[in-house]
Amino acid sequence: MSSVRVTPWQDGTLPPPPPELLAGMKARRPNGELIGIDRVLLRSFPLATGWNALLGRVRAEFDLALEYRELIMLRVAVLNRADFEWGVHHPAYLRAGGTGEKAEALKAGPIDSGLFNEEELALLALTDQSTQQVEVDAHVIDEVKRLFGEAKTVEAVATVAAYNMVSRFLVAMAI
């Protein structure tokens, strides 16, 4: 974190964050350890509060399978050159059932349609279009809806959007 563009919050920094905010952020992290983005977010308590609530729900409460959500997160990280995001989500993707071969294929340019299943290909098309051109073709959304239904389509689009927000914050702040 030596190149981070603002001084990350540290224990003892005044004013201290609200105890419930700090506890909530630590609860989302392995071993209760804050990571670099958390410490930068704690420079704005309202932002940290909303961020923690939104991303906590995306990570833990959506019905779209965690493996698919983590696949989306990795692809966003690759497309936006968010190395920190990749570092956090690569192990999570593997724990959720993803493979190292698929993860590495996300970095290799065009998606290898022989490696990914129909559902993954639809989610990757959605992720690529939304991340790179913002507008998503109707046929891409229709395919995601056909495969996942409307509720999970909403969750897939929200996952792409949320992790584009994350990656853009990480890259801008040099985290």
pLDDT digits (tens, 9 = 90+) for 96-145: 999 999 999 999 878 878 999 999 999 999 999 999 999 999 999 999 99
C-alpha 155/C-alpha 149 separation (Å) is 10
Contact (CB, 8 A) for 120 and 31: no
On whether residue 9 sits in a domain, the answer given is: no
**Are 81 and 163 in a shared domain?**
yes
User: Containing domain of residue 50, as a range?
Assistant: 19-60
The tally of domains found in the chain comes to 2
The pLDDT tens digits for 44-96 are 999 999 999 999 999 999 999 999 999 999 999 999 999 999 999 999 999 99
Q: Which two structure tokens, joined as six digits, stand for 15?
A: 């004013």
Contact (CB, 8 A) for 97 and 67: yes
Contact (CB, 8 A) for 4 and 36: yes
**Are 144 and 87 in a shared domain?**
yes
- Looking at the chain, how many residues does it have? 175
pTM of the full predicted structure?
0.94
On whether residue 108 sits in a domain, the answer given is: yes
